[in-house]
Structure 1
Amino acid sequence: MNRRAFLKSLGTAVAAAPVAAPLLARDAAAASGEQLATLFDLSKCVGCGACVAGCREAHAADYPNPRKPFPKMYPPRVKVEDFSDKRDVEDRLTPYNWLFIQTATVTRNGKAISLNIPRRCMHCVHPPCAELCPWGSAVRHDDGAVVIDSNICLGGSKCRDVCPWHIPQRQTGVGLYLDLMPAFAGNGVMYKCDRCHGRVAAGGKPACIEACPNDVQTIGPRREIIAAAHDLARQTGGFIYGETENGGTNTLYVSPIPFEELHAALQPGPGNPGLQAAADVMGKEKNLATAVLLAPFAGIAAGILRVANRARKAAKEDDHV
């Protein structure tokens, strides 16, 4: 790509572009309608993987194609994260696998019981990834879906650091950082489930719901989903996860086994989230104050990065003319 043409286009576009600061995600929610939530009935999941396959098919065009060799990063502690040779991995979250099936086996009354748990982004009501992203590249939409804009994400991984489940995963060698400051800016792009935001906005359902043969998951207004979760828990003697975790999420699970036992049976690690109790990250005064102060600057940064992305594409088109 012609870097001089890109920088020239960027300078012209930034000077001309208006930039607006977005509302905090929680303020946008209050000003809009009710968020949508999903409910997983874990007693129905057989671990067939149809949801995983459906997700992969729906998002094949969204997966990264990194440029190699990767730029050397400074400081050296910023490590390369490359899953491009592991695109078939399905037993954890990766930039190429936004949904996977965990299996937890517990012993109750002397009997081993296994549960399959579809895992992906929890889509928090007050998502710390969106409200603390310094670049404004993570956004909580009015329908409750939390989406990372891969066009302007610089891969700094703040979103993963502040997520109680450390959901987003980074791919090095892709994204805007390559054409801005490849040795210093971020190291790639962060990827995670977007709950098929585009499909839902067009009146459809997330691909994982459409692909499931056992009606494990349903989607609807959050109040209705919470009521359905409590009804199911009462009928089955089950337990609920996601209603209050991290201040409430738009992903709720109902399980016949307490989630403390399921969490103890798992082996959480990179790309393999737990089911632990999660305090409200954005309920902490320090984080909330940071979000309030950061919001205008994140909005400005997002606007500039979007302009930079357009300039980048224009420069690429000029190179191909």
Structure 2
Amino acid sequence: MNPSLSRRAFLKGGVATAATAVTAAALPGAAEAADPGGYLTTLFDLSLCVGCGECVTACKEAHEKNFPRPEKPFPAMVPSRVPVEDFSDEKDEEGRLTPYNWLTIQEAEVSVDGEEYTLYIPRRCMHCVNPPCVKLCPWGAAVQEKNGLSRINDALCLGGAKCRKACPWHIPQRQTGVGLYLDILPSLAGNGVMYKCDRCHDRLKDGELPACIDACPEGVQSIGPRDEMIEKAKALAAETNGYIYGLEENGGTNTLYVSPVPFETLNRAVEKGAGLPDLAPHGNSMAMAENMGAALLLAPLAGFAAAAGRIFFKLKKAAKQENAS
């Protein structure tokens, strides 16, 4: 049996689990992809999701060690209009994305051609093929790995929220009172750290499945190289007369959904708001292109800032180790 599959996944049985197992066997090679066709991609079959929340719980348990532990009282921000975002008293919140909840499930009750549907949509970072959060982070804290998955380095992030503004779904969430800015200029140089799904990059490097996939009792997700997942999504959509999301949105994403009803219909039905991404990507493409150009001009500064941040972080870590000895 593939070592990346837990006993729970092995006991699930069924066609969906078998497909996931085959795909999981290809993870080591896929995790070293060098081009978008091989980027590690997940496919959600929304017809299988029952909204049980096992994936949400597994995600929280897998990342609890990475969750922020803010220092209070927070430094006064200059200018004072800079908002404090504090979720430290809402750690158990699962109904929206927060720095303590990187995966949430949206519910949509719709009627199509006289047939009633209740669909559940697991939402997290879409891991774009060309992620604007990575391209526009001025400090190099947001990175895209060789396997195409994007993550935020919390040791370098200053919480400026450029990534959230650039994200077409406004996915990243900020926690004030943590991070590098507290050691630099706490009133001027930041406002915490941004958090989002990192696709369990540490588990993937060990050849294991992401926690949400491993915990799902219904086989909702499968994972593998993007080209393979696209073909699988197209086959599933053709078989079920369904619809695909993620092929074109924001230039393509490493998260694909297949739904038995149109996504425009789902988008009208889901609850929207802060921490609740809808299914209509936001953003002006022309403004984004201009921002991309500005980001290229800032690249040397960003590289310098990232390098300085890494040096500062290493010095701080060394000082802590020395004080502890």
TM bucket normalised to smaller: 0.7 to 0.9
2:208 maps to what in 1? 204
Q: Of the candidates 210, 225, 230, which is equivalent to residue 229 of structure 2?
A: 225
Residue correspondence of structure 1 range 187-198 to structure 2 within 5 A: 187-198=191-202
Change (3 A) 1:54 1:281: farther
1:59 aligns to what SS in structure 2? Answer: helix
The answer for the alignment partner of 2:174 in structure 1 is: 170
Moved more, 53-62 or 272-281: 272-281
Cα distance in 2 for partners of 1:261, 1:34 equals 31
Alpha carbons of structure 1 residues 160 and 173: separation in structure 2 relative to 1, 3 Å: same
99, 103, 115: which is aligned to 1:99?
103
Deviation at 1:278, TM superposition (A): 5.2
**Alpha carbons of 1:289 and 1:29: their partners in 2 closer, same or farther (altered >3 Å)?**
farther
Secondary structure at the aligned position of 1:69 is classed as: coil
Q: Write the distance in 1 (CA, Å) between the matches of 2:92 and 2:108.
A: 22
Structure 2 letter corresponding to 1:193: C
Alpha-carbon shift at residue 312 of structure 1 (Å)? 2.0
Q: 1:242 — aligned with what?
A: 246
Indicate conservation of the 8 Å contact 1:152/1:176, yes or no.
yes
2:117 to 95, 109, 113: 113
The Cα offsets for residues 11-34 of structure 1, whole Å up to 9 and x where unpaired, read as xxxxxxxxxxxxxxxxx9867982
- The Cα offsets for residues 277-315 of structure 1, whole Å up to 9 and x where unpaired, read as 556859953133223223332222111111111122233
Distance 1:172 1:190 in 2: 9
Question: What is the aligned length?
Answer: 294
Query: TM-score of the superposition, structure 1-length normalised?
Result: 0.87
Cα distance in structure 1, aligned partners of 2:170 and 2:285: 13
Partners in 1 of 2:183 and 2:286 — Cα distance?
A: 33
Kept after mapping to 2: 8 A contact 1:126/1:282: no
Specify the alignment match of 2:10 in structure 1.
none
Contact map agreement 1:222 1:250 (CA 8 A) in 2: yes
1:294 paired residue among 271, 288, 298: 298
* Residue 22 of structure 1: aligned partner: none
> Residue 202 of structure 1 aligns to which amino acid in structure 2?
D
One of 124, 132, 155 as aligned partner of 2:159: 155
Contact between 1:51 and 1:208, CA under 8 Å: does it hold in 2? yes
Worse-matched range after superposition: 260-269 or 115-124: 260-269
Does residue 312 (structure 1) correspond to residue 316 (structure 2)? The answer is yes
Structure 1 counterpart of 2:81: 77
Contact kept, 8 Å, 2:126 with 2:255, in 1: the verdict is yes
Are residue 123 (structure 1) and residue 100 (structure 2) matched? no
Q: Structure 1: which amino acid aligns with 2:238?
A: R
Secondary structure of 1:147's counterpart equals strand
Match of 1:132 among 121, 124, 136: 136
Q: Could you tell me the TM-score, scaled by structure 2's length?
A: 0.86
CA distance in 2, matches of 1:278, 1:230: 25
Residue 272 to residue 181, structure 1, CA distance change in 2 (3 Å): same
How far, CA to CA, are the matches of 1:120 and 1:284 in structure 2? 22
Aligned to 2:39: 35
Deviates more, 1:78-87 or 1:198-207: 198-207
1:259 aligns with 2:257: no
Percent identity between matched residues is 59
Letter of the aligned partner of 2:87 in structure 1? F
Note if contact 2:37-2:226 (Cα within 8 Å) is conserved in structure 1: no
Answer whether contact 2:233 2:244 (CA < 8 A) is retained.
Answer: yes
Q: In structure 2, what is the Cα distance between the partners aligned to 1:39 and 1:32?
A: 15
CA root-mean-square deviation: 2.0
Query: Aligned partners of 1:215 and 1:209: how far apart in 2?
Result: 8
Partner of 2:194: helix, strand, or coil? strand
Quick one: distance in 2 between partners of 1:181 and 1:250?
A: 36
Q: Which residue of 2 aligns with 1:144?
A: 148
Q: Is the 8 A contact 1:33 1:142 kept in 2?
A: no
Q: 1:172 and 1:253, CA in 2 relative to 1: closer, same or farther beyond 3 A?
A: same
C-alpha change, 1:282 and 1:91, in structure 2 (3 Å) is farther
Structure 1 residue runs without a partner (length 5+): 1-27
Distance 2:217 2:300 in 1: 45
Partners of 2:284 and 2:240 lie apart in 1 by 28
Q: What are the ranges of 5 or more consecutive residues in structure 2 without an aligned counterpart? A: 1-31
